[in-house]
Structure 1
């Protein structure tokens, strides 16, 4: 029984690992300004480039 519990915990730990969300550069449809964000800033913005691995949107 103890062996089964250890195996279950190990399996759950391997599933719980997650990678950070990628960053994208967004461009405003209204002003043309750029924004670096992990999530869609909403209407009025178009994804310009990415994904990037940092908040500066400078490298892939």
Structure 2
């Protein structure tokens, strides 16, 4: 019974920790080939460079303001 209680406590702590995690920021990326813009949380490859950001939304409209 103690093992179950200990596992339950660890599972509960893991849920709380993941609930406090923030989502990854979004960035605007510019194509080196034609200048086209795209919004992504991760780099799009060697043909792209970061143009602006970080943003809070997937449309790259709401900038994250540093405090």
Q: Same fold (TM over 0.5)?
A: yes
Tell me the TM-score range normalised by the shorter chain: 0.7 to 0.9
TM-score for both structures, normalised by structure 1: 0.77
User: Match for residue 54 of structure 2?
Assistant: 51
Unaligned 5+ segments in structure 2 are none
Where relative contact order (Cα < 8 A, 6+ residues apart) is larger, the structure is 1
Secondary structure of 2:12's counterpart equals helix
Offset of 1:9 from its aligned partner? 3.3
Matched, 1:37 2:40: yes
Residue in 2 that maps onto 1:14: 16
Question: How many residue pairs end up in the alignment?
Answer: 60
Cα RMSD for the two superposed structures? 1.8
